[in-house]
Amino acid sequence: MFLGDKEMKFKGDLNINYKHKFRFIRMFYYIKQIIIKWFIQMDNQITNEGIELIKAYEGFRSNAYRDIVGVWTIGYGHTKGVKSGDKMTEPEAFELFITELADYGYRMSLLIKVPINDNQYSALVSFVYNLGVGALQFSTLLKRLNKGDYTLDYDGNVIIESKTKYKQYAIKSEFERWNKAGGEPVYGLLRRRKAEYKLFRS
C-alpha cells in the first residue's frame, strides 16, 4: 500500500469516526429530550379552541394552490408532497389535519422543558403548525418559555398582575414578532399571533 493510500484510508476512517460521533450526539440529545419530557410529565392535549383557531386561519381548500410564499398547499394548510392538480375532500383534509396536529404537538413537546397547560400547548401547536417546529426550536420565544419568563398560578393559568406585566409582555412580543412571510409583514399573520397569545394566556 502506498503512503497516499494510507493517508486516504486515515482520512476515510476519520470521517467515519466523525459521523459516528455526530450520530451519537444526536441520539444523546433525543434521549435527553425524552427524559425531560418524562420528568415534567407533559401530557397536554390540544383544545377545541386551539383546533378551531388553526382551522380558521388555515382555511380549507379542496384544490392545491400556492400560498403567499409560493408553496403548494391543500386542505387545512397541508404542504408535504402537494403538487399542482391535487384534490382533497373536507373529511380527508380534516383527518390529515388531526394527524399532523398530533405529530407537530409531539415534536414540539420535546423542546419544552417546563410544565404548560392545554391552552398554552394549543397556542404553541398553532404556532408550529404555521411556521414549523424549527422556527420554535431556535426562537427567543422558546428560550423565554423554558426560562419560565411568565408566571402561573396553582391551576396552571397565567397570572395577569401589574408586577408580572413585563413578563407577559416578553412572551407577547415574542409571538407577535413572527408576522412576516417572504420577509414582508403580513397583517393576517399578526392577527394569528395575537390570537395565539390570547389563547396562551387564557
Q: Which three cell numbers stand for residue 177?
A: 414578532
In a 10 Å sphere around its CB, with 0-12 CB exposed, 13-18 middle and 19+ buried, how is residue 53 labelled? buried
Q: Do 30 and 111 contact (CB within 8 A), yes or no?
A: no
Q: Which of 7, 49, 52, 58 is catalytic?
A: 58
- Rounded to 5 degrees, φ, ψ at 169 are -65, -35
The helix/strand/coil state of 152 is strand
Rounded to whole angstroms, the Cα distance separating 174 from 51 reads 22
Asked if 161 is an active-site residue, the reply is no
Tell me the catalytic residues: 58
